[in-house]
Amino acid sequence: MADRLEITSDLIEYVCQHGTRETVPLEKLRRYTQSLPEAEMRVPQEQGQLLHFLIKTLNAKKVMELGVFTGYSTLWMASALPEDGRLIAIDKRKDWKDLAESHWEEAGVRSRIDFRVGRAERTMQDLLAAGEEGTYDLVFIDADKKSYTTYYELALRLLRTGGIMVFDNMLRLGDVIDPAVSDPAVDDIRLLNRRLNEDDRVIISMLPFSDGLTLVLKTT
């Protein structure tokens, strides 16, 4: 097997210092989020940079995020959008909305973000019913893992051809390759990983980055 780099925390620190441009509002929100008991839900800094990069690469104007939490990944994405860009950010918890919006306001991107409080599946169905099929450039999926397969089919409909879906937590901290782990949430991700690899409607790239990111390009 070709040599592969072992990723240490020192290397990640180096990547964050040399490979990301975290702005002052992003850093402030990251540090604030770090003080919360749910802090581990936030995407890491280098993943925020990748989402930002993808949005710029696609010239994206319409983006969706499932799972907002304090809005750190949202802020990375919204700051890559043009002034008239729109990010539909969906989370079932209203308390995250109030918290996230104050940080987005401070960062000057609040007007680009449309926070929808509610279940992701229902909200996606509502958007489809409202005629938004095939109109999104990028969908970032980071809500409840058990619904990922449902989100996949709905996001595939919402994306335009050439649009990209990004799934977080696709390696489940390594549990996907541990036969001793038979947690239904992990089994669902294993199934989805197999399915994505076999689905000829898409081209994928699975990255052993962060907790496993899969990029899905809609080709049909």
Where does this chain bind ligand SAM (CB under 6 A)? 41-43, 67-70, 72-73, 90-93, 96, 119-120, 142-144, 147
Rg (CA), the chain: 17
Q: What is the dihedral of CA 86, 84, 25, 72, to 10 degrees?
A: 10
Q: Which is nearer to ligand SAM, 105 or 201 (CB)?
A: 105
**Closest CA relative to residue 168, chosen from 182, 156, 151:** 151
In the block, residue with structure tokens 């690469």: 57
Q: Which is nearer to ligand SAM, 173 or 203 (CB)?
A: 173
Q: Which residue is nearest to ligand SAM (CB)?
A: 67
Phi then psi for residue 70, to 5 deg, are -85, 0
**Closest CA relative to residue 213, chosen from 3, 42, 10, 47:** 47
- Give least dist CB 107 to ligand SAM, A: 14
Determine the length of the chain: 220
- Give least dist CB 16 to ligand SAM, A: 15
Q: Which is nearer to ligand SAM, 147 or 149 (CB)?
A: 147
Q: Which is nearer to ligand SAM, 43 or 54 (CB)?
A: 43
Q: Which is nearer to ligand SAM, 2 or 24 (CB)?
A: 24
- Give least dist CB 169 to ligand SAM, A: 8
- Give least dist CB 134 to ligand SAM, A: 22
Helix (H, G, I), strand (E, B) or coil at 65: strand
- Give least dist CB 48 to ligand SAM, A: 7
Sheet holding 202-207, edge to edge: 113-117, 86-91, 62-66, 136-141, 159-167, 213-218, 202-207
Q: Which is nearer to ligand SAM, 69 or 136 (CB)?
A: 69
- Give least dist CB 124 to ligand SAM, A: 10
